Amino acid sequence: MPQTDAATVALARDGDSEAFRALVERHSRAVYRLAHRMTGSAQDAEDVVQETFLKAYRQLSRFESRANFSTWLHRIAVNCSIDLIRSRPRREAGHDGADLDQLGGDERVQTTQASPERLMLSTEVQDRVMDAMSSLSVMERAAFALRHFEGQSIEEISQALGLKANATKHSIFRAVKKMRVALEPLVSAD
């Protein structure tokens, strides 16, 4: 199998399922991590991974070979995560999803119970970070993940989440504040 994504994508476009499999093997972990950071749920992240690769497979012919496959794939994953997040208020609380930024603590992602992933995070710091992340609302988490882990600008995040720039900024501010409250005692002790 070719080492570069561009060559592997070319094979996959020609119907070589092993080539597509190689792409899945190269990128599925990164896609999962992004989805997990955005959705805050292992189950949702798994669903996002499946949906992302399914969409990538179906849209492979539209992928421009000059572009970076990983970037393209991550964009799909972000969109899938956002779709899922947007469907969540309707799913979980009958919310119409029109004003997602107003989501409060009642609709926070509930991941405080010990999942297998969390059990693997053995150090206190990791536990504290996970706890702090789980204290964020869905929009705070999504905005923060895109800004902090994906390096997207506030403008890009606003477009992706369908929010005004100010609302995006405040989601990020609130997220950082919560992270700071939770983790400051830890880093100050260094």
Partner 1 sequence: MHLTEDDLVLHYYGELDAAASARAGEHLRECADCHASFTTLQRVLATVESAALVDLGEGFERTVWARLQPSLERPHKGWFSWFVLSPARLAWVGAIVFLVAGAFFAGRFSQSSTGPVIAGNDHAVTNGDTPGNSPSTNFREQVLLSDLGSHLDRSQMMLIELVSADPTDLVGFASERTRAGELAGDNRLYRQAALANGNTSLAAVLDDLEQVLMDVAATPDKVSAEDLNDVRRRIESKGLLLKVRVMSTDVQRRQKAQIRSRAGQSS
Q: Which residue in 50, 65, 112, 159 binds partner 1 (CB under 8 A)?
A: 50
The one-letter amino acid at 91: R
DSSP H helix total and E strand total for the chain: 9, 0
Stretch 88-127: interaction string toward partner 1, x if CB under 8 A: -----------------------------x--xx-x-xx-
For the bound state, the minimum distance from the C-beta of residue 126 to partner 1, rounded and expressed in Å, comes to 5
Residue 152 tokens read as 């997207």
Q: Does 60 bind partner 1 (CB under 8 A)?
A: yes
Question: Which of these ranges, 63-71, 75-83, 102-110, 173-181, lies near partner 1 under the rule CB under 8 A?
Answer: 173-181
Residue 155 tokens read as 């403008």
User: DSSP class of residue 60?
Assistant: G
90: left (phi over 0), alpha (psi -120 to 50) or beta: alpha
Nearer to partner 1, 114 or 120 (CB): 120
For the bound state, the minimum distance from the C-beta of residue 50 to partner 1, rounded and expressed in Å, comes to 6
